Structure 1
Amino acid sequence: MIIQPKIRGFICTTAHPEGCARHVQEQIEYVKSRPKQAAGPKKVLVIGASTGYGLASRIAATFGSGAATIGVFFEKPASGSRTASAGWYNTAAFEQAAQAEGYYATSLNGDAFSDELKQQTIARIREDLGQVDLVVYSLASPRRTHPRTGETFTSVIKPIGAAYTNKTVDVHSGKVSEITVEPATEEEVRHTVAIMGGEDWIMWMDALQEAGVLAEGVQTVAYSYIGPSVTHAIYREGTIGRAKDDLEKSAHELNGKLSELSGKAYVSVNKALVTQSSAAIPIVPLYISLLYKVMKEKNLHEGCIEQMVRLFEERLYTNGAVPVDEKGRIRVDDLEMREDVQQAVADLWGQVTTDNLESISDIAGYRSEFLRLFGFGLAGIDYEAETEADVAVPTLSQESK
């Protein structure tokens, strides 16, 4: 079929297999252009491994330090006239590239919140790797069914306590306007924490530890974001922020549990990037468009793969103490949060309107990055040509589909 982007709101309902493969290959080539990391992880489990930071973590571990990886995710294969999801195509391309160079790479597709998939993953680790020395927790989902109680939670992106009004942008039309987001109810806060907080991370680590598949000195990392004051009401001080507070609390709890293995748990605070998740947050796309403009002009811009390479090379695997802030968090948002960067963004925020958006922001870069998430806009791909949408992930059986 000929596959073109079909955008609905903040998601794209189609994905291009060749474009996704090219996007994955670009990240692989970046990692391969750097020196091999002898001190890096060797056996890695990535929970939420098919897009964004999770995918970049898997690529960085494999091609940076030769790690064997197991990826866990929930993605959909092609069906009839419907393309597969971008994460499906990403995983197919990653596994093919990894296995072609002799690296172990396998995946499990299903509900990562379920006890069943946790046990399937444990069985795969036990059978193929014995133990893992790094567990990356990078799940991003709008809903979760609790494996013990059966309750289904749905997350919201709202402020807490009072309504919040600020600028936002319609990324596709370029219209800058004011948006008011009403405050969350206590029930909405509870639901969001249940999905995006640390309970499932702890459940994963408990199950892995009880099964004996965590190596001595194991490290685990989950990803978070803080950002500038302009986004705090909707993000860090809103429902998502409450969930991230719970994530940080969970890291401290896990540190106690992992002490018998001399293991450590960290929350890594990463840079704001165009992802399927961030595109859904009011105000944030406008902030990212301005941030990209400033950071590119200062030659400080990083994407997911650059962030994850720096996390591994300069934070987690330095043969020394892992550098953390006063709350025990790893910070790879340090370039974003530089005072000169934030002042420049704040100045632009005060000026930006629909009329000057194209000139004072990198809205074009935002749009390009958004499309690239789904395999569109990659150089060297003929998007007018017929392509095969039904692509297999090498290690997934038909039953997994």
Structure 2
Amino acid sequence: MVSKNISQHLSKHTLLDIITGAQMLFVAFGALVLVPLLTRLDPNVALFTAGVGTLLFQIATRGKVPVFLASSFAFIAPISYGVEMWGVASTLGGLVAAGLVFMLFAFLVKINGANIIERILPPVVTGPIIMVIGLSLAPVAVKMAMGSDIETSLPKYQLIIISMASLITTLIVAIWAKGFVKLVPIISGIIVGYSLSIWFGLVNFQPIISAPWFSLPHFSYPEFQWQAILYMIPIVIAPTIEHVGDIMAISSVTGKDYTKNPGLQRTLFGDGLATSVAGFLGGPPCITYAEVIGAVTLTRNFKTRVMTWAAIWAIVMSFVGKVGAFLASIPSVVMGGIMVLLFGSIASVGVNILVKHKVDLSISRNMCITALVLVFGIGGMVFDFGNYVLQGISLCGIAAIVLNLILPHK
């Protein structure tokens, strides 16, 4: 009788964990599939690699940190540019290398302590770079919001209505919603924009009907081209700062200092391992995801096995062919409205870093670093070395780090 009661108690708790895991995946779902849709990667592969990446992260951190890994917005522009310049395979090779840089940071933290990250990447370096990541994407967001990248007979004002409805819904939910709904502004915006797209006849349901229920994700594999690798490596700067912030945030929520146990070196290594494995399979980078930390805060559920179930849900969904077909049917104009807010938010994070750390731009060295990074990034500066072209975020990252090292502090 006692064993039966224990069994029922355990099965109840397991069922609750499974349901909560599905909820956590739902919170992460918006950004998780948004990045592959915008960068021409397969969303089903993104689901699979996010699930596998989360499980690898748990192994690396000894199952102590309750987080879920999803796609990073910081990689949208680099992946899109890489696919256009060198193709998908070479871009994936660059992403594998980006994961190795995460692991290098983990090694540096293990040897020198967590402060090494701030010494290499102080706020005067990271702030302007993150601003450039957001601002350089602004024309892409506006073009998508206006429907300039799709062929349709719909008048422009209807496309604007769809994108602005998506944007306004995302804003309203992010600011005024309460409880769990506040954690899913992106999904809320997509639902409203998608509904309007159906109303205006912009959605083609035939691919969804034709898609099989069960289908293997369309994995693709990397090629290693040094130009793509050198371009992608500096992009890791922004996600590294984001990762440190996320780990500190979840530590604050749970009352445990994860920077010490299991240690920042293990969490960074987990992100790097997940990102490299994702690159090997054709998925976008996998890093700790802030919205899921918000869900943990709201539910007060600190069990890492909930994230294990979220990962399992993601892997199972990746084999449902109709999921990918449905996601592919979302018109880009719906995404455009949401991107206006998201890309602006990335730039705002960069500004906030400068303000929060009281970076004094009246000091010449700080002003020079910030000014050069912003003009190089937004203006489109290109250093052409023949076989290798240095531009965009890569150029900004290298310029900022070098200037910070060589310019005198006094």
Higher relative contact order (CA 8 A, sep 6+): 2
> Structure 1 length normalisation: TM-score?
0.24
As a proportion of its length, which structure holds more helix? 2
Tell me the TM-score normalized by structure 2: 0.24
Q: Rg larger in 1 or in 2?
A: 2
